Structure 1
Amino acid sequence: MTALPRAFVVLVGAAAAVVLAAGVQATAWLIGPAFLAFVIVIVVSPVEGRLRGLGVPRWLSVAALVLLVYAVVLVLVVVLVVSVAQLATILPRYAAEADALVAGLTGLLGEWGVGVGQVRVLAAALDLGRLVAVVGALLAGVTGLATNLVFLLSLMLFLSIESTEASARMAAIAADRPHIADGLVRFAVDTRRYLVVTTVFGLLVGAVDTIALALLGVPLALLWGLLAFLTNYIPYVGFWLGVLPPALLALLVGGPQLVLAVLVIYSVVNFLLTSLAQPRFIGNAVGLSISVTFLGLAFWGWMLGLLGAVLAVPLTLLVKTLLVDCDPRASWAQALLGSARDLPGRRPPVDRVPVQEDDGAPPAALAGG
């Protein structure tokens, strides 16, 4: 059989990739929450495995797993809705301060030679009323998440029940496609390690920022602490997304001195916890180069919105696992996409997935053992 020209294969592959990307973006409302539920179940599944190891019945261990997941999700949603509602209420109180700030800024720009027309356009763009409208729309969007939340919780329930049979499914895959089984096990282990460590340090960052903002007198310290916690999942740009809103509010409340204090505290906390301490615990567990991680952040943020940015690392890791790690013929791409750990001779071996009987206990790699 005559082989197809390489150019034809490349063009068809590129066209298929474009069609697939368009389909993913069109169904972002489904793919984003579904993958979020999948990742949450992966992270908390060791709880069910530990309980089974202690002799707890399967139904009780699954119920404990589901209740744990539900409690975490519901607490986050309640705090987010209440905090955004408070933000929409408190912003109009600082209308006078915002007007004075914009007037001073436009006057300074006029002294620097900026034209009157450009200054007026800038002043209109900095109108606090627009910001209040944006916050109101955000509140409407957050409260409109009830339907998606019901879908997310229902999906997590089914995934939690299915996770009790993960060992049997992985054993069946390993018997026929050992490379795929090894890749999926590595994906589960690396994703769990990355998210657990990121969550712990995100909680530390959020707690420290919340206490510091409360002591400084910045309103809605709990909201900004929650924002710092969530943006800790976004590589590289998450710090700026987390610090800008409280810094702007601090500017309205206390002026440049308070803004400087907020920026200094956020920078010190981010440097000590997420730049120095957190990488020591995560290391190269993710197995992605810095460039690939950043490009993945931009791509998934464009495809799935904010949820895609938060899940950019697990999503990129999953694509790499399916297209590179599971295919022995694509091992050459590991040197381009992976970290130094994945270079030949440096990657630690993955324990083969053991074949389980019908006791339902997950293998050590999947159960976090």
Structure 2
Amino acid sequence: MTDQAPGAADSASGSAGSERWAIPRGLIVLLVAAATVVAITGAKAFSGVLGPVFLALMLVIAAQPIQTWIQRRGRPAWVGMIAALVVVYLVLLGLAAALVVSAAQLATALPDYSDQFSSLFDQVRSLLERFGVDHDRIQHALSGFDIGKLVDVLEAALRELAGVFSNLLFVLALLLFMAFDGMSVGRRMGAVAGLRPDIAHALTTFVAGTRKYLIVSTVFGLIVAVLDGVALWMLAVPFPLLWGLLSFITNYIPNIGFVIGLIPPALLALLDGGFGKMVWVIVLYCVFNVLVQSVIQPKYVGDAVGLSVTVTFLSLVFWAWVLGALGALLAIPLTLLAKALLFDIDPSTRWMDVLISDRPPASEPEDTTDADPAS
């Protein structure tokens, strides 16, 4: 019997390690980065299709409890599917109709504020002259502004918002097919759990977190919309229904949704009643939205989202760049989906949740090895 030399053993283990890593790790990183860039570029190129698909998926996830509740009461699965579809269809069609009608009314009424717009510019011009700004510079700076351009800007913004529902027929058709598949999703997930429990865990966590986020955001969005609409109506700001609807929709946009919903009514209040009315609009919006969105709502949705403020903002920028306005509205659910597919699906990568979460990791047990045994 011959003993193998230590050097030979090390050489053998080294050769085995080199065989396991035939491709250098640096090259693997570069390939992954290149594949990521290609995937993002493809998603951006097909945003017109991917956006409605994600919207339909999120709506089906939000409405799935209706179908499940009806099935538990002994009704056929198709009855629950139809009930969930009717609810989602009514919500989508109602939002689209309200946006179209309100935007048309706004475009018709804005030219009537041309005199107020001119008066406002005269005040701004006088204020700048008091601070010693040259008259010619003032004329050059303000010459490009007029009520017509303001109308064009607001109309373009509303068209962008209405563009969320531009593929409405496509979304409605997708909802029908997804709701039909949803009748058997429970059995399918049960099969997946038996074959790949980690994948089933990741998908179940994503669905539960997304559903809770959408439901809570919808409830608090309605609260904010009612408060803002009533406040604007009491201040006699034109089109309070439109601005309340805008507050509801922008509630789904993290971090900057409140600002987007505030700018149009504040500008219209400035044209309609001067700086005083605009200040009142800003103050009331800040009180209502900060109280609801920054104090109350995070307590209910924080456990479902579990994303840090930085990650939330970066997800908003990224998905808005990739999918446009629809990406901004669905930034949080899309980030939860990406987290489930990239991190939660593999136990070896779940440690990434600690880095992107807004919750601190569980505290480690206290080390008592040096403690006095008598104590």
Whether these two folds match at TM > 0.5 is yes
How do 1:155-304 and structure 2 match up within 5 A?
A: 155-304=174-323
**Paired residue for 1:330, among 349, 370, 374?**
349
Relative to structure 1, is the Cα distance of residues 172 and 221 closer, same or farther in structure 2, using a 3 angstrom cutoff? same
Q: Which has the larger radius of gyration?
A: 2
| Partner-residue secondary structure (3-state), 1:339 | coil
Amino acid in the other structure paired with 1:297: L
**Paired residue for 1:81, among 87, 100, 105?**
100
Amino acid in the other structure paired with 1:315: L
Relative to structure 1, is the Cα distance of residues 142 and 173 closer, same or farther in structure 2, using a 3 angstrom cutoff? same
Aligned to 2:6: none
Amino acid in the other structure paired with 2:248: F
**Paired residue for 2:329, among 285, 302, 310?**
310
Cα contact 1:81–1:142 (8 A) shared by 2:
no
The Cα offsets for residues 103-161 of structure 1, whole Å up to 9 and x where unpaired, read as 32133224334455653453244322112223444566677777611001010111111
How do 1:22-33 and structure 2 match up within 5 A?
A: 22-33=41-52
Aligned to 1:103: 122
Amino acid in the other structure paired with 2:57: F
Structure 1 position 61, deviation (Å): 1.6
Cα contact 1:84–1:135 (8 A) shared by 2:
no
The Cα offsets for residues 220-259 of structure 1, whole Å up to 9 and x where unpaired, read as 0000000111111111111110111100000000111101
Cα contact 2:164–2:325 (8 A) shared by 1:
no
Aligned to 2:26: 7
Which segments of 5 or more consecutive residues in structure 1 lack a partner in the other structure?
A: 347-369
The Cα offsets for residues 3-22 of structure 1, whole Å up to 9 and x where unpaired, read as 32232222222121111111
Structure 1 position 176, deviation (Å): 1.8
Amino acid in the other structure paired with 1:258: K
| Partner-residue secondary structure (3-state), 2:351 | helix
Please give the alpha-carbon distance, in whole angstroms, between the structure 1 residues aligned to 2:176 and 2:211. Answer: 19
Please give the alpha-carbon distance, in whole angstroms, between the structure 1 residues aligned to 2:230 and 2:108. Answer: 22
The Cα offsets for residues 58-90 of structure 1, whole Å up to 9 and x where unpaired, read as 222211111111001000000000010011011
Aligned to 2:173: 154
Structure 1 position 39, deviation (Å): 0.3
Structure 1 position 47, deviation (Å): 0.3
The Cα offsets for residues 314-368 of structure 1, whole Å up to 9 and x where unpaired, read as 0111101100011112122122112326x3579xxxxxxxxxxxxxxxxxxxxxx
Q: What is the TM-score normalised by the length of structure 2? A: 0.87
When structure 1 is superposed on structure 2, of 196-205 and 146-155 the one drifting more is 146-155
Higher relative contact order (CA 8 A, sep 6+): 1
Aligned to 1:363: none
Please give the alpha-carbon distance, in whole angstroms, between the structure 1 residues aligned to 2:161 and 2:258. Answer: 22
Which segments of 5 or more consecutive residues in structure 2 lack a partner in the other structure?
A: 1-18, 365-375
CA RMSD of aligned residues (A): 2.0
Structure 1 position 177, deviation (Å): 1.4
Please give the alpha-carbon distance, in whole angstroms, between the structure 2 residues aligned to 1:172 and 1:210. Answer: 48
Identity in percent: 45
The number of residues matched between the two structures is: 345
